[in-house]
Structure 1
């Protein structure tokens, strides 16, 4: 596996090619060339993931046998297991064994992530009991001292309570979210580091957003939901767009029409092209319902053509609201939507859940469901006899009544149905930057310990092994926004991240750190290669203008702060958050020297974490003058 990791990045002819067919052709041609065993493994692995990521896993499945994954390639092994055992019940023992093996390899965070993934799949399949057991095991795999990862698993568990539980479990989930938010608010009050404060603030906003969704969709309490959404909308963040639409609807529901109009105006100004089409459509529906609440009779076209992949709990909420409308056409559309949702999604899940439930509470709910179904069946029989004696008008009335009865079943059944789509959205929002599709701070925090563990193992075999930390900042980004508009600025950010990603390996961690800053953690064969990678990445950005859709081509440059780990001497622990702060100082030194360059910091006389903390308080030039640090500079 070390030989595979040591290979240079795949060429641009493959990594920058947008066409799947062209990429597959490149792979086929590459495989008939005389190449090393490590390169052949990597190319066949790329072929496999091309099929898996394009939802053609059956075509990639033979590679799991012809090109079996190496023992340390946990992601490849997990993907093969998912293809071989698509049923979570069958997959469970294999994922459990892989998680234990990952832990033996020193990959505790990876083991915890595997069990989290399994828990979501079990929840999607309706096996709530097994899902919570997997969460419990994920908690046990979190390494000691990883409070951030422990908190993330607990937040996922809280979300599962809200998504899968009855009203009492929704309140339990809210209590967990509230406790996590209050803990982060206390940490924010004490934190000094800018990066730590930004991450804590993002966590608080995400938790507020999720609390608002729970109150609005699951507890039908728009007034309480509005208090949480209002706090999310007050500053730019990843969750603001959806919070504004939900807030407009909640305000209209409680009769605060002026407030609702203000939110609707904000929604029009803050819409993002990066929002997924399914999310954009159901948010538009909530805004249309808010307008109709204020002006009865307005059309709600987006509510009448919800996409099939709209989250089940969102469909349930919207169809319930339509069915209760005084407009006969909207009411009938809502009832039909509920019937279709029940027939195609909820009823199969209810039947599947019957054989999978394990707890007494679940058995009690199933008993109540059976009683309700018997009652509905009796009522339908009585209504059928009445229909035989009634007029055509009475027959139409009976159809509407049957749909209302199905709604009653949905209201009871929704307490324990798996609401997987919203849960997936929460998970996606918590780890992926919606604009650039790069990871975010949470994504890095869940994986940085894995990289530090890798560094320790690699240096036992080769003492030259290193990790490079690179902090990128786009030069004159504010001027780009001011001159060309924020839409162009967003395209620049997306292209900037894509160029960096194509120049890197799959094992490198690339995340949006904040604003126009991008952070990279890369594995290196030697610390001396750190500057060479900085030079290559800087060239990847500046070598050609950025093509802007519907606008001019722009020459874009950046400044990079760089350092190599291990930075502190001996066996001293490497405080990565503080070292990111040091790369930030190097970045601003590069800005001061004229931008379009990289600045690497070298350790001369900083012995431990305490000395590093003192060094961060001083300007970089003072530390260089005092002989504690040395810098090297390169430009493109």
Structure 2
């Protein structure tokens, strides 16, 4: 879905709702001198440097807006949502700038309901301005989000509307094909038997049409092959998960080009599943071995594929447990959750069967129950509509007969009508007043949410904010490492030395002033993209992306130096020397595996490093560079560094080593 949307919006010349009142015009933006052709040949970092250099020059407001949005696009293309969002907040998109508006909306920290609402608003604005292709793609994305969240009925409506709009407006095959694929997939995932057949027929139509366009040289061969492979894969999964016709599933999945298709690993895993269900153990094992050599770029997909691999292993080798199935990613598609829990419920192991049933029940409570209520509400609404329509017809007959009455009766009726209009007007005022109150409450809720993620004393983000964002950072590192991009993430935990003694000596008011100055200094020492939060009390935590160990150590040094370089001068004129102890860990840090651990483990390791620094005299930083094995990691977490010697392979770097 995201690939389709990217292809469509990349066709825009200029590209909120996420938008501010226009302070510049589209004409002013288009009249700027063109960007030099050599810009397109630069690498990502070269483009970022070029844009920042231009922004430091003496430029007008329009040129600054263009360069800032280009910088946001570069950050977004490189998977830097935090940096992208910071530009969107400091330089909001203009109302005419649809591409930039969509980019900013994609990285904004919104709830599901807020994102859906803003996407609908953007969709309507696109239609008003005649951007039909983009509007169709946004509507299809809305449908996909609705289906992922379990709002199946709304998803069907969104896709049907997108498909109808695409056909009526004769949008290009690229867009229409994407909507048809998503619609067909939704039919298969959540429809009854008739809808599943309708979805598979739609996929077959896409297959025939794509091959015809390819043979007539109306589609680029690479794009045509990608569409064909995706359709083969969708038909294979439809038969494996929904029809449970495993022979047909193997046939369709076997047509996927494993050397080029992005669905290669998924195709192999579902082929293994189909083969083992048919009792073809050797074939299933072969597919399983091939799938183990590949990785999917999407962490959500990678996690549920691991579950299916373990389910196949369970049947092949009587594997006792399927741990990956216990911890599916929260964004896993509803169809996958349903299929996994059903297969667990059918296993021979009583423990796994019970867990499968329990997962079904939890899924029912969290998602399916709401859908049943929505369906019931819709049926009730339809019945009420029919009743009102019947009443309206009866009233019409009555009024026609009453027209035959005397003038006095007509006047009385008119008086009643005027009274009714007055009642309606009052009712409308009440409704408007209520809506205004609701709108105000929504604004207040948004402000309260923002405030709940801020520490009231220092103004820094708090632990709630950290817990809402850290998993995205870890997933990004995992993905980058699978792509051999060698991205690394550092976590630092640090606090003020002898802070309790300072509070006891000078009072809590002075302690609060020290905390505020401490936060200010560390903030200025860090980069804009680093995450700084008040962890609690006098403890603070930083999450930073780093390139290597030198970068890792330099940030620890900057934090320590910012605090200790000169005394704190407080508002009452008091000067206090303040020191801190910093503990840090870089990940991945295990030499035997590249997988990034849970964030709680990282924080615990940083805490262990900090307390090791305190045991060595405080006023220093300690960084964990490397831990050789999981066993040593466990020992560090349980015992700290006092019981370790250098022969166990833990590599530390401290400020005393400088």
TM category (shorter chain) comes to 0.3 to 0.5
Normalised by the length of structure 1, the TM-score is 0.47
Which structure is larger by alpha-carbon Rg, 1 or 2?
2
| TM-score, length basis structure 2 | 0.45
Where relative contact order (Cα < 8 A, 6+ residues apart) is larger, the structure is 1
